Amino acid sequence: MTQRSARRLDGIGTTIFTEMSALAARTGAVNLGQGFPDRDGPPEVIARAVTALQSGANQYAPGPGIPALRQAIARHQQRHYGIELDPGRQVVVTTGCTEGIAAALLGLVDPGDEVVVLEPYYDSYTAMITFAGGVRRPVTLRAPDFRLDPDALRAAVSPRTKLILLNSPHNPTGTVLTRAELESVAAVAVEHDLVVVTDEVYEHLVFDDHQHVPLATLPGMAERTLTLSSAGKSYSFTGWKVGWATGPAPLVGALLAAKQWLTFTSGAPLQPAVATALDEHADYPADLARSLQERRDRLVAGLGEAGLTPYVPQGTYFATTDISHLGWASSRDFCWALPERAGVVAVPLEVFYDDPDAPGAGRQLVRWAFCKEVEVIDEALHRLAGADLSA
């Protein structure tokens, strides 16, 4: 039969997160796959959304977002990082960071432009680079350390490079890029006059003594960095899909020009609630990070006891383990067998690489989410401890 779907969808299947959550639902397995918390954010913030729903915030919000939220986002950037923004021209509300990524790439990348992207990459990055007609040039964060190699970054840049797509704290590896690593990105960006789009949705979810440094705060970077974040991870409202983009007016404007044709505008009643979260619950994300750190430690210890030798993440919701000693041909095979073997779902890292068989890449790596209640983590660990996990 004639191919009905557009060529741009060739090679783009169902996102692994949908696939794995469906697998968990079908098998009744404990879902440590898709990264969403099983406890909602502050009740007062939910109450604010209810009030908004009941008091007329039910028609289109302004395209760039309601002024109150744009101002709250600007205050957030000021309070945490000393970044000064004009909420009228330098802040846009998006439908989650995922729309921010889509609008940024559609607004900034021409067909044939190269996009340098950290690998393993979040799958929407590659889909949207493809939709924009761009060509991805991955720079791999290699196991076991998952650090950014400045030489590899430099080697990935060519005269056709348009932008660098960064993500720190990094999903799925849990790497928090150091100031020195970010300086190497800044040096390359300035030298080659590149834009950097940086996904910082896990900005507050960092552990131990690690610190999130926004790339936009480095010398020479404010004028070329488009920063994306969201309320989903910082406030445990992943289903609200409220994110934002901040940066220099021309870059934010390009994103907005594309965004207006994607969703036009984002969910009106949730915007005042997110403004309340940012202004009145400014400590919530740090408390969440402390609680996540405990759950990270619990998961990491338990995975170790189950023979899975985890890498300890510096930030995010996720820990990664190497499974090469178990004899599976791939992390995908392992993850598909896991519900039956152990009643648990995890995410195979191999789907986030151009070449998962390269040294230090993801054919044998598996991601486990710890943004779950302690009892859920314990149940998963109990199941894993009693299971035969070898191929």
Q: Which is nearer to ligand GLN, 17 or 131 (CB)?
A: 17
Q: Which is nearer to ligand GLN, 17 or 81 (CB)?
A: 17
Query: Tokens 């970010």 appear where?
Result: 182
Least distance (Å) from ligand GLN to the CB of residue 233? 8
Sites for ligand GLN among residues 254-313 (CB under 6 A): none
Distance CA 132, CA 246 (A): 21
Q: Which is nearer to ligand GLN, 34 or 364 (CB)?
A: 34
Residue 17 in the binding site for ligand GLN (CB under 6 A) = yes
Binding string, 49-88, against ligand GLN, x = CB under 6 A?
----------------------------------------
Could you tell me whether strands 114-119 and 135-140 are parallel, antiparallel, or unpaired per DSSP bridges? parallel
Q: Which is nearer to ligand GLN, 20 or 195 (CB)?
A: 20
Q: Which is nearer to ligand GLN, 87 or 267 (CB)?
A: 267
Cα torsion 349, 354, 359, 360 to 10°: value is -30
Residue 229 in the binding site for ligand GLN (CB under 6 A) = no
Order of strands across the sheet that contains 365-369: 310-311, 318-322, 365-369, 347-348
Structure letter (DSSP) for residue 135: E
Q: Which is nearer to ligand GLN, 35 or 343 (CB)?
A: 35
Nearest one of 265, 261, 215 to 107, comparing CA atoms: 261
Distance CA 104, CA 33 (A): 27
Neighbours of 234 (CB within 10 A): 24
Least distance (Å) from ligand GLN to the CB of residue 167? 11
Least distance (Å) from ligand GLN to the CB of residue 201? 8
Neighbours of 264 (CB within 10 A): 11
Distance CA 351, CA 120 (A): 8
Distance CA 8, CA 107 (A): 17
Least distance (Å) from ligand GLN to the CB of residue 96? 8
Given 35, 120, 267, 310, the residue binding ligand GLN (CB under 6 A): 35
Sites for ligand GLN among residues 113-172 (CB under 6 A): 171
- Find out whether 244 and 92 touch, Cβ atoms under 8 Å: yes
Total number of residues binding ligand GLN (CB under 6 A)? 5
Nearest one of 203, 263, 192, 267 to 233, comparing CA atoms: 203
Least distance (Å) from ligand GLN to the CB of residue 34? 5
Least distance (Å) from ligand GLN to the CB of residue 37? 11
Instruction: Pick left, alpha or beta for residue 236 (phi over 0 → left; psi -120 to 50 → alpha; otherwise beta).
Output: left
Number of H helices, E strands in the chain: 13, 13
Least distance (Å) from ligand GLN to the CB of residue 97? 8
Residue 34 in the binding site for ligand GLN (CB under 6 A) = yes
Q: Which is nearer to ligand GLN, 114 or 203 (CB)?
A: 203
Least distance (Å) from ligand GLN to the CB of residue 338? 16
Binding string, 170-209, against ligand GLN, x = CB under 6 A?
-x--------------------------------------
List interacting residues with ligand GLN (CB under 6 A). 17, 34-35, 98, 171
